[in-house]
Structure 1
Amino acid sequence: MTEYAKPYPHDPIVEIAPDLFMVRGSMKMNAFVNISRNMAIVRHEGDLTLINPIRLNAKGEAELQALGTVKRLIRLGSFHGIDDQYYADIFGAEMWRQPGGEAYPSPAPTVTLTEDTELPFPDAELFLFRGLNQPEGALLINKAGGVLITCDGIQHYGDYRFVTWYARPMLARMGFPKTTIIGPFWITAMVPEGLDIQIEFNRLLEMKFDKLLAAHGSLLESGAHAAVEKALKKLAAA
């Protein structure tokens, strides 16, 4: 019998743009530290697509099913996926992701994401980083001024909610201050020697967006494009 990761504390589902929802929650990194984690939900014609999926508690699942039918999952980052098998097995959800990714090889992709993949809902654009050690992408929802959904590469911290209290003072020193950042561990793990990652981020900045929802941290409700530009300038100067 398959054992699934248990649900960890999370907030209720909230709508952040028409038919675009988010859940802010948490996960256990180790025996001592919890970190924040976010899921986006897109609703189209009664079907739900979960992006950066996280398992919800019973009340959260009831809220989710009240929104529509869980149809598919989109995995944007290779280090995520701990709850994907749960949704695939329990809800019969399709798995949309890039090939590769070593952390969670299951479930196998129902649809393999490429730059030519037609997304299953309108008003959206898929961005895939090129040349990384493992796959990562981002998704732009063209509503409410543009909502950029990322995984680990770009993160925003307005606060440290859901992070274990005694770990919070260390976050800024580890490269996670209360601002928009390029994930420092992501750079180390994902960017091979010789790749100019600025080129990839400049491609991403060709998209127009005002909000940012990363897989960790908090929602940046406005000014996200400028915030990402500022984070990239800081990275270039490092």
Structure 2
Amino acid sequence: MTRFPSQTPHGEISEVFSDVFFVTGSVDMMPGFRISRSMTILRDGDILTLISPVRLSEAGLKGLDVLGRVENIVKLGSYHLGAHNGLDNPFYVDRYGAKLWALAGMEHKGGLSTDHILKAGGDMPTRDLSLFVYESSKMPEAMFVLNREDGVVIAADSLQNWSEVDEFFSEAAANAMTKGGFIRPANIGPEWKRHCAPAPAEFEKVSKLPFRHLLPSHGTPLLNTAKTDLVQTFSHQFS
């Protein structure tokens, strides 16, 4: 395991909806600068799909194995966490032989290559999923819509819900990310927006997607009011 990046602190796996799980972990962006990041887990029978994978501790992996068998991992965004994008994907491919799903044109760490290319209307790693792609983003970026529970959007960098600094932030990261506009509920990822420059019309399309909840890779689940809250954010940022 020494050839993989070290595992960093994370919380417990929680079940948000039936067969939909969420765990908050962390990543060291640089020495002394740690932020949180989150992984969504979808279960179909005994098959697990990990979205924006976060490496778990041995105890965490035992809990994961209780849920089912990891067969798929998904990379939804190219910009996601910058240099740390896809940091733990090689670990899960090595440990479980998981298949990697990603958009066309994405590059991967550890010499990995995409096993299944994601595209709107194409094959999905598990049932009840559809794909939304930000066509104007300078780097490939997409979201899943899980067609259960009145709709659940699963996002990478584009939509975030860091409503407050959590226990996984270092002090330096907490200060910098707050000043940078990251610590806001129902937010558009500030650096993703700046770097990838999506067209405002993309968010009009997002507002028409059928969803009620958001499971972000940055922040906590936003349940029941996600669409209403995000539409208000879109209106404010693109007014």
TM-score with structure 2 setting the length: 0.91
Q: Is contact 1:158-1:220 (8 Å) kept?
A: no
> 2:69 corresponds to which residue?
69
Q: Which whole-Å CA distance do the structure 1 matches of 2:74 and 2:172 have between them?
A: 33
> 2:104 corresponds to which residue?
99
Say if 2:181 is the partner of 1:175.
yes
The equivalences for 1:1-238 within 5 A come to 3-78=3-78, 79=80, 80-102=85-107, 104=109, 106-161=111-166, 162-191=168-197, 197-237=199-239
Q: Which whole-Å CA distance do the structure 2 matches of 1:96 and 1:168 have between them?
A: 32
Q: Which whole-Å CA distance do the structure 2 matches of 1:140 and 1:235 have between them?
A: 23
Q: Which whole-Å CA distance do the structure 2 matches of 1:9 and 1:108 have between them?
A: 27
Instruction: Give ranges in structure 1 of 5+ residues lacking alignment.
Output: none
CA pair 105-98 structure 1, distance change in 2 beyond 3 A: farther
Q: Is contact 1:25-1:36 (8 Å) kept?
A: yes
Q: Which whole-Å CA distance do the structure 2 matches of 1:132 and 1:106 have between them?
A: 25
Is 162-171 or 32-41 further displaced after alignment?
162-171
Is 68-77 or 123-132 further displaced after alignment?
123-132
Q: Which whole-Å CA distance do the structure 2 matches of 1:234 and 1:20 have between them?
A: 31
1:31-89 C-alpha deviation (Å, 9 max, x unpaired): 01110100000000210000011110001000001100000111101132111111111
CA pair 103-181 structure 1, distance change in 2 beyond 3 A: farther
Q: Is contact 1:123-1:141 (8 Å) kept?
A: yes
Instruction: Give ranges in structure 2 of 5+ residues lacking alignment.
Output: none
Q: Which whole-Å CA distance do the structure 1 matches of 2:92 and 2:135 have between them?
A: 28
Question: The residue matched to 1:96 in structure 2 has which SS?
Answer: strand
Is 1-10 or 88-97 further displaced after alignment?
1-10
Q: Is contact 1:95-1:108 (8 Å) kept?
A: yes
Q: Is contact 1:17-1:143 (8 Å) kept?
A: no
Q: Is contact 2:39-2:52 (8 Å) kept?
A: yes
CA pair 91-105 structure 1, distance change in 2 beyond 3 A: closer
Question: The residue matched to 2:137 in structure 1 has which SS?
Answer: coil
TM-score with structure 1 setting the length: 0.91
How much is the aligned-residue C-alpha RMSD, in angstroms? 1.8
2:196 corresponds to which letter in structure 1? M
Q: Which whole-Å CA distance do the structure 1 matches of 2:227 and 2:133 have between them?
A: 18
Q: Is contact 2:72-2:125 (8 Å) kept?
A: no
Identity level (%): 31
Q: How many residues align?
A: 233
